[in-house]
Each structure stands twice: as structure tokens, then as C-alpha cells.
Amino acid sequence: MIFPMLLSAIDSRGVVDIITVIDCTPQSDNWVGQMLIVYDGKVEGQLEPVVIDKILGIVQTTGWTKPVTISVEDQQGNTYRIFWDRVVKKRCAIVFGGGHISQPLVQMLTAIDFEVTVIDDRPEFANSTRFPGAHQVICNNFQLAMNNLTIDSGTAVIIVTRGHRYDLDCLRATMSRNARYLGMIGSKKRIKEIIELVKAEGGPADIERQLYAPIGLDIKAATPAEIALSIASEVVAVFRGGSGRPLSGHKEAF
């Protein structure tokens, strides 16, 4: 059975390619609906060996950006139309600070299907009743909590603690870990000081480009929930490659 194998591959690997034969010429119902799953260089499922090799060649040499259909021919001249999909591990978000912005922010990130981890060192803020949708709520010192967390190209790091001292600690600990999104709250003036300080300490030279600070899109957010919306929108734009501009094209709409 291919689906139980697929499930365990997703859980252990993170990236799994799924190939489905959706059409075959000359018509042959035998192959239509057949699936292959490809992960870690391994293949599960059954198709003609020549076709499997050709598909593997495509999967390994083509960059996958979205689900596509492709055609593969075997030696007898049969053409297989296949659908190539991929399951990728859920996008993750780590939110440092469990305050007023974090609460709506975690709700929004959960709604758009992020696996969210919240960290705060104050028990009254770091508890799961405050963050019902969160994957995990960690009550610990920020630096200690960070040691056990994975940060990779599928992770958004959002630094919104209660004080700049803590923000700075979190930034130091996360800035060289290749997060897809790294955002930090603060006024322009404060951000400038922090960046200068981090650079003087030998931090990454391109920290300004890497760091989204002041955090969020310009929607003139005023309340904690509006700020959360502005942050969540920026995170989506970065993950999806959006411009953050109005789709209407209005340049001075506001």
C-alpha cells in the first residue's frame, strides 16, 4: 500500500515527491492511477523500470516549484502523462515573546497553517491556554529554549519580546541560522542602534538585508491585532515571494 508508506516518508523525511500516472497513450488502464513516491533517492511503487528511470532523472535534475504535469515516453513508444506533486514539511514559526502582539499573531499564523512555537520566560505569558493553536509553548529563558529548536529555510523567526535587551539576545542567537524570515520589532531609531551594535560585535555584514526590522508591512497598524496582521502578511509575502503592494496597482491608495 502506497499511502501508509507515503505517510511515514513525510514524517521522517520532510520532502517527498509524489508521481501519479494520469494518462497513457495508447490507452492502458493498467498504469493510469499508479503512483510512485520518491524520497532520499529511494523509489516506492511500481511502473516499468525504463519509465521509473526517466522519471527519477527528471525529479533529480529539475527544480520543483509547483505541482506540474509532464510527459514521459518508454521504448515501445507509449507516452505516460504524469502529475508531479511534492509534500513539504509544514512551515514553522518561532515567536519570541508571549505578549499582546503574540496572542493574535499566533492565532493568525496557525490559521494560515504554520506550526507555531511560542517562547516566553514568564509563566503567566507562556502557557497553552493563552495560545490554544500553538504547536508548543515553551516557558524558559530565551537562549536556553533556543538550543532545542530547528531553524531552517522553512522557518519564520519573529522577535517580539517585552524589551529590547531580550530582543537583542534573541537576534544574536538566531541571525546566523538561515531562517527564511527573520523579523524584529522596534522603532527605526532603536533598530539602527541594534544593527550597529551587532555589526560591531562581528555579526553578519548583510544583517540589514537579512533582518525585517522594523517588522511588518506598512498598513498603519495601530492595535496589537493590527500589528500582528501586518507581521503575518509580511511573513506570507516573504514565503510566497509577494511584493506586498496593492493588487489594484494603486500607488498612493492610502
Partner 1 sequence: MDRTLVEHICECQSNGETAALVTIVETRGSTPRKAGSNMLIFPDGRSFGTIGGGCGEAEVRRQALTALDEKRSQLHTVRMLNDVAADEGMVCGGIMEVFIQIL
User: Binding to partner 1 by residue 237, rule CB under 8 A?
Assistant: no
CA dist list (Å): 74 to 25, 27, 57, 59: 11, 14, 14, 17
User: Binding to partner 1 by residue 174, rule CB under 8 A?
Assistant: no
Minimum CB separation of residue 27 from partner 1 in Å reads: 11
Torsion on CA atoms 138, 143, 147, 152, rounded to nearest 10: 90
User: Binding to partner 1 by residue 7, rule CB under 8 A?
Assistant: yes
Please say which residue, 8 or 143, places its beta carbon nearer to partner 1.
Answer: 8
User: Binding to partner 1 by residue 85, rule CB under 8 A?
Assistant: yes
Amino acid at 169: D
Among positions 57, 67, 132, 204, the unique one binding partner 1 when judged by CB under 8 A: 67
Q: Which residues from 19-48 bind partner 1, rule CB under 8 A?
A: 20, 22-23, 29, 32-33
- Cβ count near 72 (within 10 Å): 21
CB-based burial label for 210 (10 Å; 0-12, 13-18, 19+):
middle
User: Binding to partner 1 by residue 83, rule CB under 8 A?
Assistant: yes
Residues facing 117 on adjacent strands: 94, 136
User: Binding to partner 1 by residue 69, rule CB under 8 A?
Assistant: yes
Q: How many residues bind partner 1 (CB under 8 A)?
A: 22
CA dist list (Å): 5 to 42, 110, 180, 226: 12, 27, 29, 43
Question: Distance between CA 137 and CA 206 in Å, rounded?
Answer: 31
Minimum CB separation of residue 46 from partner 1 in Å reads: 15
Q: How many residues can be counted in the chain?
A: 254
- Select from 7-15, 144-152, 183-191, 228-236 the region that touches partner 1 (CB under 8 A): 7-15
Among positions 10, 119, 151, 229, the unique one binding partner 1 when judged by CB under 8 A: 10
- Select from 62-70, 189-197, 214-222, 242-250 the region that touches partner 1 (CB under 8 A): 62-70
**What is the three-class DSSP state of 235?**
helix
Q: How far apart are the first and last CA of the chain?
A: 56
Among positions 41, 49, 66, 222, the unique one binding partner 1 when judged by CB under 8 A: 66
The footprint of partner 1 (CB under 8 A) covers 1, 3-4, 6-7, 10-11, 18, 20, 22-23, 29, 32-33, 66-69, 83, 85, 87, 90
